[in-house]
Amino acid sequence: MLVDIHNHILPGLDDGPKSIEEAVLLATNAVDNGITHIIATPHHHNGRYINSPSIVIEAVAKLNKELLKKDIPVKILPGQEVYFYNSILEDLENDLLTLANSGKYLLIELPRNHFPISTFETLYQIQLRGYTPIIVHPERNTVLRKDKQKIYDLVNKGSLVQITASTLIGLQGRNLKKYTIDLLKHNLVHFISSDAHHYVNRPFLLNDAYQHVRKKFSENQVTYYNENAKHVILGTGFQPMLPISFK
């Protein structure tokens, strides 16, 4: 069982595949990466797209049906990539989808160019309500890029972190690659996922990323990331590795 917890595979909902045919090609690319379970996470409230739970669940059912028909052995599960927007706490119970709809993990995208003053408080409130926030690709936030200790603080206060496969293998440049490896070394990464959007331009690459971790770190580390992702599907908790401070 190999799980991807962050991607845009559902057709026509956001900047992912434009058609069901493109979505099927992207699913085939996932299978080529050895992936068996895909949690589809279309953008939600990012200023461009709104994808409420019912829309996502319906699109997932439709794509699963198509994959079954075409004999493509991968299962799609519902989720959202929730942008850090104003009424996130108010919408938590009725307009936000936990990953795999398991009631526990929430994928959160912070703004790119700043770190909202309310971040820590909101993430705390989310946890008080019984959810675990997973911060996606911190490597894309300009503040977190300059201040890795802030990521340590987020993790220390109970959030989890997901980095993108393509960044880890260097496709976003050498600096960002080094940055994600630093996070790995400080036990500040809990998930590696694809953020796949397109079967050619932004494919899964999970296999390459895990291969990189296998070579530079260990097989155990690869197992750790995939086991964590399995917990996300089940909605069960796990003991993350102890984060290491940069100070």
Q: Which residues bind Fe ion (CB under 5 A)?
A: 81, 195
Kindly tell me which of 41 and 228 has the beta carbon lying closer to Fe ion. Answer: 41
Half-sphere exposure of 28 (CA within 13 A, CB side): 12
Residue 95 CB, nearest approach to Fe ion (Å)? 18
For Fe ion, the closer of residues 152 and 183 by Cβ is 183
Cβ atoms < 10 Å from Cβ of 48: 9
Distances (CA, A) of 67 to 51, 134, 204, 230, 238: 22, 28, 17, 21, 31
Dihedral pair phi/psi, residue 211, rounded to 5°: -60, -40
For Fe ion, the closer of residues 152 and 168 by Cβ is 168
Closest by Cα among 175, 179, 185, 177 to 208: 177
Of 43 and 186, the one with the shorter C-beta distance to Fe ion is 43
Shortest Å, Cβ 239 to Fe ion: 27
| Residue 128 beta carbon to Fe ion: minimum distance, rounded to whole angstroms | 26
Residues 88/22, Cβ–Cβ less than 8 Å: no
Query: Given the complex with Fe ion, which of 11 and 243 has the nearer CB atom?
Result: 11
Q: How remote is the C-alpha of 119 from its chain's centroid?
A: 18
CB of 244 to Fe ion, least distance (A): 27
Nearest residue to 181 via CA among 172, 232, 134: 172
| Closer by beta carbon to Fe ion, 22 or else 195 | 195
Q: How far is the CB of 24 from Fe ion (least distance, A)?
A: 20
CB of 6 to Fe ion, least distance (A): 6
C-alpha distance from residue 12 to each of 8, 18, 70, 229 (Å): 10, 5, 20, 26
Closer to Fe ion by Cβ: residue 9 or 184: 9
CB 96 within 8 A of CB 44: yes
In the complex, minimum distance from the CB of residue 123 to Fe ion, in angstroms, rounded to a whole number: 18
Task: Say how many CA atoms lie within 13 Å of 60 toward its Cβ.
Answer: 26
Sign (positive or negative) of CA dihedral 26, 30, 31, 33: positive
